[in-house]
Amino acid sequence: MDLDVFVTAHHAEWNRLDQLLTRSRRLSGAEVDELVALYQRTATHLSLLQSTTPDPTLVSRLTQLVARARAVVTGTRRASWRDAARFLTEGFPAAVYLSRRWWIPTALLSTVAAAVIGWWIAGHPEVQASIGAPADLREMTRPGGQYESYYSSHPAASFAAQVWTNNAQAAAMCLVLGAFLCVPVLWILFLNMLNLGVGLGLMSAAGRLDTFLGLVLPHGLLELTAVFVAAGTGLRLGWTLIDPGPRTRRAAMAQEGRAALGMAIGLALVLFVSGLIEGFVTPSGLPTWARIAIGVAAELVFLLYVYVLGGRAARAGERGDVEPADRNPELPTAA
């Protein structure tokens, strides 16, 4: 395509669209129809330029022009409490439900990996010696030692906030870094399972595995589920880059990326609940069975939330994406 000829043929239309957008008075009905037609035509022009002979200056000008026209044509919409309610009752649980084929295998394989690491450390004193000196290991695993005092070393409220921040950052990293062909997500997941496996192994070797599980399970069930969901979503995002399916790679990444952004917000709320349990329930004086029961109950509520509300919304067509009116329009690929 000859760029000079193309600009000469269409610059009058672009200028006219710009004039209509900068009008201070109210547009007439005919002018509104003209604006809509020019918006659609200019969007097609922009698509052609991007796919054939992209000129940075011209593409930038038309991108801004199309964005301004779209704002006028489609109008603006403010988020409301109804949007938040829809997100919590449909969008987020549906997104988690639809990604279950990724996060459930991730959870099972990760749990097995942590158990194998723990078994390997517990049964091999030489591996324990490579982790720390005998005196340090005894200090970590003894009654009232570091593994136990960790959960009561700070005031409950500040500890819960710190835990929530750290876990939310880890989940967000899994979601964001999934676009880098899955590798960073696998590494983050491995580090988490390694830390869990080391605790399992050392406390098991000290004969205090029941104490360790009593400390980890109350908050760990919900916390690890959220991490597995984030990791599974990140892996799905990375795989979409490799194999977008019938969609174009750009459209597939845009759709999955928007869903992942919503997942980050939803998982932050889930991890907030987990942080409250870790800050207030785990170090409490409640019997071990009561603390574990609270953790199991929180996990069951989340799974019911995903499978009941999420499953129903997914069957109704919900995909965890934003409303169509809030998405960027997909430009046509041909005139």
If DSSP states are collapsed to H, E and C, what string results for 88-120? Answer: HHHHHHHHHHHCHHHHHHHHHHHHHHHHHHHHH
Least confident of 159-168, 198-207, 311-320: 159-168
267-288 confidence digits (pLDDT tens): 999 999 999 998 899 888 899 9
pLDDT at 329: 47
287 vs 164, higher pLDDT: 287
In the structure encoding, which two tokens stand for residue 285, read together? 């004086």
pLDDT at 94: 92
Q: Is the pLDDT of residue 305 over 90?
A: yes
Per cent of the chain over pLDDT 90 is 39
Distance CA 23, CA 193 (A): 60
- Count CB-CB contacts under 10 A for residue 299: 19
What's the mean pLDDT in 17-38?
84
Q: Is the pLDDT of residue 124 over 90?
A: yes
Quick one: which of 114, 73, 18 has its CA closest to 325? 73
Grade residue 79 by pLDDT with cuts at 50, 70 and 90. Answer: low
**8 Å CB contact between 138 and 235:** no
| Residue whose pair of structure tokens reads 């991490």 in the numeric block | 227
pLDDT at 71: 80
In the structure encoding, which two tokens stand for residue 292, read together? 């574990």
**8 Å CB contact between 333 and 260:** no
72 vs 115, higher pLDDT: 115
Grade residue 28 by pLDDT with cuts at 50, 70 and 90. Answer: confident
Q: Is the pLDDT of residue 63 over 80?
A: yes
Give the C-alpha distances (Å, rounded to integers) separating 161 from 187, 266, 280.
25, 17, 11
**8 Å CB contact between 203 and 212:** yes
pTM of the model as a whole: 0.71
**8 Å CB contact between 114 and 193:** yes
pLDDT at 77: 55
What's the mean pLDDT in 31-43?
88
pLDDT at 324: 47
Quick one: which of 318, 265, 225 has its CA closest to 84? 265
pLDDT at 320: 76
Distance CA 124, CA 204 (A): 12
What's the mean pLDDT in 76-100?
82
| Residue whose pair of structure tokens reads 């409640």 in the numeric block | 286
- Count CB-CB contacts under 10 A for residue 180: 13
Q: Is the pLDDT of residue 204 over 90?
A: yes
Grade residue 296 by pLDDT with cuts at 50, 70 and 90. Answer: very high
pLDDT at 325: 47
